[in-house]
Amino acid sequence: MPIFDGGGFEAWIEVDGERLEEFDVGEYENEQGVPVMACWVPCVSGKEFKIGFSLPEKRVKYTHFALNVSMDGSQVEVPSSCVTRDPTVRGPMVLYFGEELVPDGSATRSFRFGSLQLTDDDSMHREFEKLGEIEIGIASVAKLSRRCTASSEAARQVDHCLHERRKKGISHCVEFGKEKPYASDMMDSVTYIGSADICSFQFYYRSIDTLIAEGRVPTSGSGIREREGVRSHSGDLTPATYLPTLAVIKEEPKEDIASLPKTLTSVPNKADRPERAKNKPSKDKSHGPRTRSRVSTVTETPGHSSSRRENATPGPSKAPRRTQAPPHPVEVISISDDSESETSDYESEIEALQDYAAALAKECEVKALIAKLKSKRKRGRIGGPQKERPAKRVKK
């Protein structure tokens, strides 16, 4: 459960050493104005559980605390439910409660989820107001003392036999295991600060099927550790019937680009085409179906002739414009046509672009060489007029 913002307190429930998944977490204030954190958890009949609680370091250093636990509307005494302040504590104090202390304090009984008994006897029309609920309240304590156990009351017997009409989606209850001897014969006596708790935590436990049917468990998402939230010692979920059936979404296979048809069904408009050379030959206005072909990138180095496409006719050359050379090799896409004049026009344009790229490369090389020579001349490494240094004036 999320940490209570008002004081840093936190509570949770564990089964077989695993923390139960919490659903539909919310916060509200009860009739006494106490902030309450509430959530829903899954349960399995016959499984023992423990309540975990964390107290912040800054609170434990200066204050005593008492924890009040109730299950199915009945108060439950737990051993070591009072926390004495400890100025030397480092980090949050974590406590676990997994057993009930019988009234005479001589034995304990473990907590366990049990199945609710249903009957059709009309005489059993009694109400269990908080059936299916575990509540933990935390209160500040001004005075904490120890007293001898004087009660001889026997351990209470749990009788959760409910009429069918009063079920309301509840199928489980809290029951207790066999008694185990408890060594301590002392009990805590406390004096509370104020008349209300600091905060309270409520856990509504239901079967996983009930939680799914009520829409409290999301059917998809990566935020759920397990749908049931309970693991056995072997690591397998038990029982398997509690896992909901999830729809498997098949991923559509991605289309391979190489397998797509290369024939274009439409011809791009004249306005969308790249600007062509000024001295272009006349071409036929009729267009047929075109195929898109990719031409390999041409990169030239100074002193070497540029490679030409086979069966290409030389086209008009462009005067090189004084622009910066492109940072990357130019990739040219050619669109071939059934018409010979159209093909000749596109190939001549490619030739012009190749010549232009070669001219730009040479121009860049010349500029780099000029800059290098100027740098050497400034450093006096090549001949040239030398500036006379002014004579130093010496004071007499």
* Overall average pLDDT of the 222-248 stretch: 36
Q: In whole angstroms, give the CA distance from residue 222 to residue 224.
A: 6
Candidates 395, 279, 283; CA nearest to 335 is 283
Residue 240 has pLDDT above 70, yes or no: no
* Overall average pLDDT of the 260-275 stretch: 47
Give the per-residue pLDDT at 158: 52
Give the per-residue pLDDT at 156: 53
Q: What percent of the chain has pLDDT over 90?
A: 16
* Overall average pLDDT of the 22-38 stretch: 91
Candidates 95, 97, 128; CA nearest to 110 is 97
Contact 87, 130 (CB under 8 A): no
* Overall average pLDDT of the 2-8 stretch: 68
CB under 8 Å to 84, separation ≥6 — which residues?
64, 144
Amino acid at the residue 331: E
Candidates 241, 228, 26; CA nearest to 113 is 228
Cα 390–chain centre separation: 74
| DSSP codes, 337-378 | -SSHHHHHHHHHHHHHHHHHHHHHHHHHHHHHHHHHHHHHHH
Contact 353, 332 (CB under 8 A): yes
Q: Which residues of 176-204 are buried (b: 16+ CB within 10 A; e: fewer)?
A: beeeeebeeeebbebeebeeebbbbbbbb
Q: In whole angstroms, give the CA distance from residue 267 to residue 299.
A: 29
Residue 373 has pLDDT above 50, yes or no: yes
pLDDT tens, residue by residue, 383-392: 555 555 566 5
* Overall average pLDDT of the 138-143 stretch: 81
Candidates 59, 67, 163; CA nearest to 117 is 163
Residue 212 has pLDDT above 80, yes or no: yes
Contact 130, 72 (CB under 8 A): yes
Banded pLDDT at 296 (limits 50, 70, 90): very low
Q: Which residues pair with 167 in a beta bridge?
A: none
Higher pLDDT, 315 or 52: 52
Of 70-79, 96-105, 162-171, minimum mean pLDDT range: 162-171
Give the per-residue pLDDT at 295: 40
Higher pLDDT, 78 or 125: 78
Q: In whole angstroms, give the CA distance from residue 16 to residue 235.
A: 10
* Overall average pLDDT of the 228-243 stretch: 35
Banded pLDDT at 200 (limits 50, 70, 90): very high
Residue 306 has pLDDT above 90, yes or no: no
For the full predicted model, state whether its pTM sits above 0.85.
no
Q: Is 173 left (phi over 0), alpha (psi -120 to 50) or beta?
A: beta
* Token code pair at residue 167: 């079920």
Give the per-residue pLDDT at 179: 77
Give the per-residue pLDDT at 249: 36
Give the per-residue pLDDT at 285: 45
Of 95-99, 222-226, 283-287, minimum mean pLDDT range: 222-226
Residue 74 has pLDDT above 60, yes or no: yes
* Overall average pLDDT of the 167-177 stretch: 67
Residue 307 has pLDDT above 50, yes or no: no
Residue 117 has pLDDT above 80, yes or no: no
Residue 232 has pLDDT above 50, yes or no: no
* Overall average pLDDT of the 18-45 stretch: 91
Contacts 24+ apart (CB under 8 A), 357-360: 357/298, 357/300, 357/306, 357/326, 357/330, 358/300, 358/306, 359/320, 360/320, 360/323, 360/325, 360/326
Higher pLDDT, 54 or 126: 54
Of 31-40, 158-167, 176-185, 221-230, minimum mean pLDDT range: 221-230
Candidates 14, 8, 61; CA nearest to 35 is 8
Q: In whole angstroms, give the CA distance from residue 40 to residue 23.
A: 5
Of 35-49, 185-199, 215-229, 320-334, minimum mean pLDDT range: 320-334
Give the per-residue pLDDT at 53: 92
* Token code pair at residue 276: 């062509």
pLDDT tens, residue by residue, 54-66: 999 888 888 888 8
